[in-house]
A and B are shown apart, each in its own frame.
Chain A
């Protein structure tokens, strides 16, 4: 009964039913009564995870390693326990951003990078091709075995059959045709395929039913329950070994690795992402799927171990491949109908996987690889072509054909070297490379495009080197020398013992290296710089979830007249028109011509296009008609995440407090200055009062004595009067000087500035003091004073300074042996090492005496008001010999003319007062007079 034509007919009949279901579901979807909008269908469609690898391969792996097939299904169970954190978030993000594939997801997350989308697509295609090859191998093998009924003959090696007699080639072609019919009938803006999902759900039921049927037949038909099988198995040492698993650290390590690997694969395989995220109708369906999908996995695995054990018992020796036990056990018991049903179940598993996988991959190839490249080629003129929707479909059809062709090629090249499960694991390890960028992108805002590129590329290269190339080499397609001896014969580079790492199975070994490099590069390179504006915006959208979706993506505007034709080129004008009309209705407008050219419209158009050509390309296309305005400060602030806002606030606060501290310091300083000035004023007043009282007291005392005693003799009276007069003179001089000083300090003094010959002033001052010098027998030496040194100054004031200095000197030199010398020089040689920085243009006047000199600590003090150096007081009377105001006044005057006044003195060897004034170059008649303050 099971001739080839029956099997072929049954196959086409089954595929026809699937097609009818898909067609009906699409019809229902168009009328708005979706067939798949319920959680059970969603859960069942997730069963696309179980391919022929599960259907045939699990039993094969169980025959080889006992329970070792199970981690592949425990991983997804654990993933769904994390659904609330990972899957739920992915679905919301994908819906908000109209994500159409995993490549789109990654590209969109890292700033809508076309390069990144392309890289993910390449990895996905290369990584998944072995998996597709696996399906072809399974279908063609099962067909060959079934067709040889009633004999049980293992099919010949693939490479041994001429290509046109190879059933796998025809399987590939039929599957390609079927997928093209399914997936690319029309272009949907959301990239959702309701019909396909409905068909997949039905297929999941069929393959589960078929497997359960075999299980029930084997356990209760062939044996007396599971206990019977286990008891029989325990009796055969060869089989009994499969009741336990290898008990070594490496075996447990592999076990854990497989759980981890399948956890990510059930999320990141393109078909899983397509079904779980893109085709999800309503995120509430996830709630049911959390337990329904794991339950599905549980049921389909329930009979795997009993069937494997029964197969090993029934077919001892290596005559029958364990991968085919599901099919060969019913055949061996003449269960034709069951065998056919099993074959159909296997076909379901294969077609389901191939359809969803290739549709997902073709979308990625078209949107993220081919279209971006074509749009960049100006010679094709695509950027200006009116309708591209036909081209898009054409590209996808070719992509499907090419992917299946590559799958067939891999099958021919490498398919025979491995069991089904091992081939699948190669693909699992490839898509695990997406884990860091996807999971990291969902929870970490710091990831950048460069980091994602580096991580993916590094992980992919290591995966290819440690897993893919060895698979070619083992099948003899590449020289296998490099497996044993390493690349270029370098031991260190042996692909399955990289850098000397041994003791791990090849999958774990590959994962250790590739994920280490992947994660390291992703994080390391990301941390090289802060995310740019676009990356930061996408990070907010992805990490912050749907709450952040309100941030506008475009700052620019474009009208319907620009955007509608653009969308029409990719979607077809009619569909684009419909979508725009719907958008207008949603906004409460009557027609599309009323749509205002604003940001919202641009965003709508971009999301619409993203569904058809991917987010990166959509952005590029929309950018061609929108002139984007730079981001305003408001948007920038929105984009800043909470942490950076807090950081900004903190920085602001810090700055404020710093300013406050600075202001406080200034205030404190000012306050201190005020207090000091206040103290100085008090000191000044008390000093002045004291200074005034001293002469007043003596005037009053002597006057009273004169008044009270009229009998004082004349000589005594004359002496008293002399004292009174001299004290009065001193008093008035003191008062004059105080007034003078006050005037100078407040800046109200009057100045008459003229060109003054310094030598003249010196001579005049000396002349006025000649009598005093003569009285004390002090020599005054003016020899060094020559004419012609001119300064700009007030002549009288300069005279005052000169007189002051001369009379000071006179006061302190000893009588008779005293000697005062006045020096005058214009200093023109800067090299002369003089203190006081006299420059060549300065006129320097020095008054040198041979008095007691001034203590070093007094040399500054004497220029303060009312302060006199030690030893200036009259030893007998303790009365100061001066007012203590002469030098301060002199210094004020000299400084007024931009000069300097200082003293040089060695105690015991006299003192030398020096003042320097800027020299006025030129002649005597440079006598310009400037009244008041210059």
Chain B
């Protein structure tokens, strides 16, 4: 259960952050050729920021303190 209002709000903040990460205009910054450690920048950015977002969500809900 998402017990505290604070946790819910932290998650909602991550929601807004995700909306920003995964959309135009930030997307257009990475939408170009070239490579980033051997990966296309767009792919690297989306997978990287996605994983980071999931990690933060895990940290928010699993940490005990409010």
Residues of A in contact with B (beta carbons under 8 Å apart): 66-67, 70-71, 74, 77-78, 80-85, 88, 225-227, 230-231, 234, 240, 243-245, 247, 249, 252, 255-256, 259, 283-284, 286-288, 290-291, 294-295, 298, 302, 305
Contacts and interface: CB of A to CB of B under 8 A. Distances in A.
A244 B9 CA distance: 34
Interface of A is mostly: helix
Contacts of A70: 46
Contacts of B8: 84-85, 88
Interface of B: 1-2, 7-9, 11-12, 14-15, 18-19, 22-24, 27-28, 31-33, 35, 37-40, 42-43, 46-47, 50-51, 53-55, 57-58, 61-62
Nearest to B56: A291
Given A81-B14, A245-B42, A294-B53, 12 more contacts: A67-B46, A77-B54, A85-B8, A85-B12, A225-B38, A243-B43, A244-B32, A244-B40, A255-B24, A256-B23, A291-B58, A294-B57
Contacts of A77: 18, 50, 53-54
A71 B11 contact: no
Contacts of B50: 74, 77, 294, 298
B24 A295 contact: no
B28 A243 contact: no
Contacts of A249: 24
Contacts of B14: 81
A239 to B, nearest CB: 11
Interface centre among A77, A81, A249, A290 (most CB of B within 10 A): A81
B1 A284 contact: yes
Contact of B11 (A66, A67, A84, A231): A84
B61 A291 contact: yes
Interface of B is mostly: helix
Contacts of A245: 31, 42
B61 to A, nearest CB: 5
A252 B24 contact: yes
Nearest to B51: A298
B22 A259 contact: yes
B11 A244 contact: no
Contact of A88 (B2, B19, B43): B2
23 contacts: A66-B42, A67-B43, A70-B46, A77-B18, A77-B50, A81-B57, A83-B2, A84-B8, A226-B38, A227-B38, A243-B33, A243-B43, A244-B32, A244-B33, A259-B23, A287-B2, A287-B62, A288-B61, A291-B57, A291-B58, A291-B62, A294-B57, A295-B58
Contacts of B9: 84
Nearest to B35: A230
A305 B27 contact: no
Contact of A252 (B27, B33, B35): B27
B61 A287 contact: yes
Instruction: Report the 8 A-B pairs with minimum CB-CB distance, sorted nearest first.
Output: A84-B8, A227-B38, A291-B58, A252-B24, A84-B2, A81-B15, A243-B40, A291-B57
A334 B28 CA distance: 41
B1 A290 contact: no
Contact of A255 (B27, B43, B47): B27
A259 B23 CA distance: 9
A676 B58 CA distance: 83
Given A67-B42, A259-B22, A259-B23, A82 B57 contact: no
A693 B26 CA distance: 107
Contacts of A240: 33
Interface centre among B14, B32, B50 (most CB of A within 10 A): B50
Interface centre among B1, B38, B42, B43 (most CB of A within 10 A): B43
Given A67-B43, A230-B40, A295 B23 contact: no
Contacts of A291: 54-55, 57-58, 61-62
A82 B38 contact: no
B31 A244 contact: yes
Nearest to A247: B31
